[in-house]
Structure 1
Amino acid sequence: MNKYNVAILGATGAVGQEFLNLIEERNFPFAKLKLLASKRSAGKEITFMNKKYIVEETTNDSFKNIQIALFAGGSASKTFAPAAVKAGAVVIDNSSAFRMDTEVPLIIPEVNPEFIKTHKGIIANPNCSTIIMVMALKPLYDKVKIKRIVVSTYQAVSGGGKEAMAELEQQVNDIAAGKTIIPQILPGASMPKHYQIAFNLIPQIDIFKDNLYTKEEMKMINETHKILNDDSIGITATTVRVPVYRSHAESVNIEFTDELSVETAKNLLANFPGVTVQDNPADMKYPMPLMTSGKNDVYVGRIRKDFSIENGLNLWVVGDQIRKGAALNALQIAEYMVKNNMIK
């Protein structure tokens, strides 16, 4: 098997660290590995597979002789993706920078791998909550077309990065110790106000748009349309940050154009790659963030009829957004390209 020179941009963050975990777990065929980050993180030492790597500051010259560039996300994507492509690398980008670019395919490998071949150097990873939802939608959509989706998300603090996870832990400890809470990170570090997340819910993820939806909510709407190549689906979303370390949960209500039975839906989901059905109300079995953290599959349960409409189903969908919602999905794109000899 051929081996490839790989760069990870954002190697010191949560997604970057997960890239390393998955490369080792899945035995990804790399020959050379370059770890990149901002100037602030440059110089850090990371031990990976019994070898020590020094994290380098990312520059436009960082991608010489690199064939696959895994971008963990953030503003660096806009700056360095063009330089990586110019150097000959395929960029698989986890930021929102290129997702809605008509020249950039937006890929979930189990859902729309046929569009990978249309790339012009950059392939976009969808938003984490979009990936988790669409993994559950796709096998149902292929059977019966979808008319409308109403989704409410319960998103873990790890979606806000390592700092948000640390803030939740600190706040819990401070509350237990009777200390005063001074929030500094959520809903977003750069925002003018911050709220306590411990023992609280924050109904804002990312900034508000002029239409009163948050940017995160619009991502779910626009990206789902693009991935399924179907703008006719009505979609409305409410995204909420919850005091959970890891793994997003979503309540998804689907209105179909025709009838789809609960039993058929369960069978379709159970046979779709990357999805595990965990649905036994009599035994109180259903997916939860605590049990799905660190897992690769998207888990679906609470599958039931919506009796308020003619052709409706309710799903409860849970997935580790650092894995399938980010690093795993990106690495699966690279694996698909390797398997199909799409890397020069």
Structure 2
Amino acid sequence: MKLVIVTDAWEPQVNGVVRTLGKTREHLQEMGYEVIMLSPLDFKTIPCPSYPSIRLALMPYRKLAIMLDNLQADAVHIATEGPLGMAARRWCLRNNIRFTTSFHTQFPEYLRLRLPVPLSWSYAWLRRFHRPAVRTLVPTISQQQRLQQYGFQDVYVWGRGVDTDIFTTNNAKNYDLPRPVFINMGRVAVEKNIEAFLDLDLPGSKVVIGDGPDLDMLQKRYSDVLFTGAKFAEELAAYLAGGDVFVFPSKTDTFGLVILEAMACGLPVAAYPVTGPKDIIIKGETGELDWDLQKAALNALNLQKTDCIAYAHENSWHKCSEVFSGYMYNNYPETQVKTAQMLGQKSG
């Protein structure tokens, strides 16, 4: 089966969407799929306003339409709502092609952090974008329920995984810092609410792993915090495994892949009880959820690393990719092998 995934988020970007799509492609190929990624790498691009490290395809429709015409794919999945996603949606509707979409990022909340745009306006646009899709895939049940409250239809859950061959407790970094070591990892940007972590009055030390537009500003403001910059693969795992607690202050993530990655490295997680963390963390076992993030972080120190590791090992990328493949097969009854009901779930 030939599957085309159209995405505005792709390498060399480093984020949860790119990791999700990359791992899904890898495992689908192992399952026998032919997977073609159409991304900004195939087009002329311009830097995204306020986020120049992200490149946006410039007027991609004509070229994308030719590519899709020639590929003759069995299934089309539109992963993002950017220029390429909009162009692919337009092509599918013009050619009466069934397609699926996914909702990875709470853009309305991110946008409101930068501009005074009402959430209702942004969600109305996104609802219109996703309405023609056979299915809109989201990472958690609470995100599914949230979109349904905003009037989205045909919303299904497609979970996330962790690579437990890379994210282990092996070769843990020996931080030359006062213990305990509280770690945050991810994109260093306003929507991640990192300052909520940096402002906490905690014993020991704080470490931030990652890069992003706010890195320089935060380094200057918080000189007592170790900012490591971006780390990857086994080195990233070693930096995580060297800590004691992972603090996840974001209130706008739809999932938070870094939570599973931290757990696989033996770190209990402290977070707010919001979409994403509340779907992943088992309170009092793999982490602590509390609107008082300091309390959550301190309580997480008492949890067992072994429980976190065991939970992470239950969430494989292969299992997630099987769920995704079930939804793709279900787009086309004539090639249906498995049902989405066997591999995923839809509430209501």
Same fold by TM-score greater than 0.5: no
TM-score, normalisation: structure 1: 0.38
TM-score, normalisation: structure 2: 0.38
User: Quick check: which one's strand share is greater?
Assistant: 1
